[in-house]
């Protein structure tokens, strides 16, 4: 455990247990960061109530009992009974030296490795990917990277929408257009117009509607020729998705696809199982499950529709099949759904039904990692200028182009290749970071100027902080790895603030995973960059007063750059050495 705040909380556990006459598991010293000192112990307040003493008396008992001399240089009781703690500089220095030789930079691994199945991205075949899919992809990718980093087993699943009634009309439209023409349209990523044309015909022409209906029956019946055309649609779309994933530099690949169609064979079993557990009822000709506690707007019981009147299965049915597959075949102990907030009720109902049916062991968690909308400057859902869905590949291209202008301006003498390579890292990083750095449940406003700015809580700012450190080493002609066995000197206030922050990388990663909230790691990295700036301003590095101090400060620079680079990598963002 690298974080000194956790170290002190653990050291104080036996003390709090003794004073309170409670078990160590129940004892909590409640240690927090503080503006007044390095940390503040707040646990005396709660304990005082339990044992009928004043908080200041308890605080005194704590200090009498605990030996913190190896960790703290001063401790004092303050206010109503807080204990203000200042860490001993040697302690901080030793902890940093230990973290610096650790390839994981002090981040502890999971005590018990779990099997995570993570459902994210999930765009729909023959439909444009929209900014909601971008959020799901970016948040999901960051969580995958972090969960793997701490040692969990992670199974990525891209639950694309590749099945259901719309495919009747889509296939008929494909036939009308001719396969070559259709493939052309789809492969350039003009999915929306393809879908809209099909929909328009479906609505306007009775004959087309009939053809579409008949086609769905053929599709569900496994007709070979129909399946061949369906595969064509899916193939063109997934090629397009793949291109977006590649430009985005996320870990999803074609082999992670587990679309709705993959659960086809399991659907009858879902019905059988629900029937056997007496949960299935017929309502208005459809087979449904009523879920306790869920009502519609008119306060009537709300069912989860399993099988529609026409015999077709529903979106919910494939989600139930997913649960069976993920728990029973894949052995998931945690299932994460990185899906927009509007689907909360649907996912909650799926969760309740599958637990009630006995498919999900008590110890298995199902978590909806929900997120808000991406808004335009008018605070409405982000649209393109012509009012259409924003095309993701166009958005990514624009970001890289804008970044290229900035990079070119800063480094006019670089080759075009060099400018392009860095522009890609900056442009894609900016998009991802803008998405990840706000609390995911909130909406955020998409703002080019802000996300690409080299100031403020942005990816370019953090990437630049990293690149600046790399340039210090270049200037000094010092190899970065040569300062990794150095125990630093923690003297100046800015040094101690920086070291304390560096040692909290561990806590930042775990806090982020605790609520699946990447913005927490972003905030940490931004605080780190700010503290590094203060350090760099007050503590000369290359012009330090002694060789020893220079080496020590170079070691702090190097470790900061490593945490920055690793932290951004966990968010899926690259860190160039020069910008």
Which residues contact ligand ARG (rule: CB under 6 A)? 119, 122, 124, 159, 161, 319, 322, 337, 339
Name the residue nearer to ligand ARG (CB basis): 134 or 529: 134
Give the nearest distance from C-beta 119 to ligand ARG in angstroms. 5
Give the nearest distance from C-beta 354 to ligand ARG in angstroms. 12
Name the residue nearer to ligand ARG (CB basis): 134 or 339: 339
Name the residue nearer to ligand ARG (CB basis): 129 or 423: 129
Give the nearest distance from C-beta 237 to ligand ARG in angstroms. 12
Residue (of 437, 464, 432, 440) closest to 532 by Cα position? 464
Point out which residues pair with 87 in neighbouring strands: 72
Name the residue nearer to ligand ARG (CB basis): 133 or 496: 133
Give yes or no for a contact between 399 and 419, defined as CB atoms under 8 angstroms apart: no
Name the residue nearer to ligand ARG (CB basis): 79 or 312: 312
- Find the residue with minimal CB distance to ligand ARG: 122
Give yes or no for a contact between 503 and 4, defined as CB atoms under 8 angstroms apart: yes
Give the separation between CA 161 and CA 237, rounded to whole angstroms.
11
Name the residue nearer to ligand ARG (CB basis): 163 or 444: 163
DSSP state, residue 108: P
Q: Where are the alpha helices (DSSP H) in 178-223?
A: 179-187, 191-204, 206-220
Give the nearest distance from C-beta 342 to ligand ARG in angstroms. 9
Give the separation between CA 20 and CA 27, rounded to whole angstroms.
8
Give the nearest distance from C-beta 263 to ligand ARG in angstroms. 10
Name the residue nearer to ligand ARG (CB basis): 159 or 307: 159
Q: How far is CA 481 from CA 89, 467, 470, in A?
A: 24, 16, 12
Q: Where is 428: in which H helix or E strand?
A: helix 416-436
Helix-strand-coil split of the chain, %, nearest 5: 55, 10, 30
Give yes or no for a contact between 390 and 383, defined as CB atoms under 8 angstroms apart: yes
Residue (of 393, 333, 341) closest to 365 by Cα position? 333
Mode of pairing for the β-strands spanning 365-368 and 334-337: parallel
Name the residue nearer to ligand ARG (CB basis): 122 or 327: 122
Q: Which two tokens stand for residue 235?
A: 């193939």
Give the nearest distance from C-beta 366 to ligand ARG in angstroms. 11
Give the nearest distance from C-beta 337 to ligand ARG in angstroms. 6
Residue (of 447, 450, 470) closest to 579 by Cα position? 470
- Sorted by sequence, the CB contacts under 8 Å of residue 305 that are 6+ apart come out as 286, 287, 288, 314, 316, 317
Name the residue nearer to ligand ARG (CB basis): 95 or 319: 319
Give yes or no for a contact between 462 and 469, defined as CB atoms under 8 angstroms apart: no
Give the nearest distance from C-beta 375 to ligand ARG in angstroms. 18
Give the nearest distance from C-beta 216 to ligand ARG in angstroms. 18
3-class secondary-structure state, position 37: coil
């Amino acid at each position: 455990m690298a974080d000194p705040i956790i170290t002190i909380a653990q050291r104080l556990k036996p003390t709090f247990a003794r004073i309170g006459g409670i078990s160590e598991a129940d004892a909590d010293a409640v240690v927090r960061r503080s503006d007044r000192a390095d940390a503040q112990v707040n646990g005396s307040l709660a304990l005082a109530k339990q044992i009928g003493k004043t908080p200041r008396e308890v605080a005194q008992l704590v200090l009498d009992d605990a030996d913190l001399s190896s960790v703290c240089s001063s401790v004092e009781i303050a206010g109503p009974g807080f204990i203000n703690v200042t860490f001993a500089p040697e302690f901080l220095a030793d902890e940093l030296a230990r973290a610096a030789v650790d390839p994981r930079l002090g981040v502890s691994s999971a005590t018990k490795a779990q099997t995570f199945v993570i459902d994210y991205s999930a765009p729909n075949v023959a439909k444009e990917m929209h900014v909601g899919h971008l959020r799901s992809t970016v948040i999901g990718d960051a969580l995958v990277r972090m969960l793997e980093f701490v040692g969990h087993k992670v199974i990525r699943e891209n639950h694309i929408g590749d099945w259901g009634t719309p495919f009747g009309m889509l296939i008929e439209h494909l036939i009308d257009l001719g396969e070559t023409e259709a493939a052309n349209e789809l492969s350039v990523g003009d999915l929306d117009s393809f879908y809209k044309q099909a929909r328009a015909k479906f609505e306007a022409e009775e004959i087309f509607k009939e053809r579409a209906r008949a086609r769905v029956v053929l599709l569900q019946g496994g007709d070979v020729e129909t399946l061949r055309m369906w595969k064509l649609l899916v193939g063109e779309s997934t090629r397009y998705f793949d291109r977006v994933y590649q430009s985005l530099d996320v870990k999803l690949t074609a082999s992670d696809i587990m679309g709705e169609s993959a659960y086809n064979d399991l659907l009858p079993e879902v019905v059988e199982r629900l029937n056997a557990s007496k949960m299935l009822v017929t309502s208005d000709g459809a087979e449904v499950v009523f879920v306790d506690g869920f009502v519609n707007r008119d306060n009537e019981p709300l069912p989860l529709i399993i099988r529609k009147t026409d015999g077709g299965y529903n979106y919910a049915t494939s989600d139930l099949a997913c649960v069976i597959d993920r728990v029973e075949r894949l052995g998931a102990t945690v299932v994460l759904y990185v899906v927009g907030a509007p689907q909360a009720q649907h996912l909650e109902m799926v969760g309740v039904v599958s637990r009630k049916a006995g498919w999900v062991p008590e110890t298995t968690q199902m978590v909806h990692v929900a997120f808000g909308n991406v808004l335009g400057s008018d605070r409405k859902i982000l649209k393109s200028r012509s009012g259409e869905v924003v095309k993701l590949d166009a958005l990514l291209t624009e970001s890289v182009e804008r970044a290229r202008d900035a990079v070119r301006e800063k480094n006019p003498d670089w080759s075009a290749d060099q400018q392009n390579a860095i522009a890609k890292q900056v442009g894609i990083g900016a998009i991802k970071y803008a998405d990840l750095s706000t609390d995911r449940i909130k909406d955020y406003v998409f703002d080019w100027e802000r996300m690409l700015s080299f100031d403020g809580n942005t990816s370019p700012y953090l990437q630049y902080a990293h690149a600046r450190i790399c340039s210090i080493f270049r200037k000094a002609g010092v190899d970065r790895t040569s300062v990794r066995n150095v125990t630093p000197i923690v003297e100046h206030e800015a040094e101690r603030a920086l070291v304390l922050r560096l040692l909290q990388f561990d806590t930042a990663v775990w806090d982020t995973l605790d609520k699946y909230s990447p913005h927490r790691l972003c905030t940490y990295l931004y605080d780190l960059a700010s503290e590094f700036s203060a350090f760099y301003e007050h503590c000369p590095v290359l012009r330090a007063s002694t060789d020893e101090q220079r080496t020590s400060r170079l070691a702090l620079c190097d470790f900061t750059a490593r945490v920055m680079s690793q932290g951004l990598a966990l968010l899926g963002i690259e860190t160039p050495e020069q910008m």
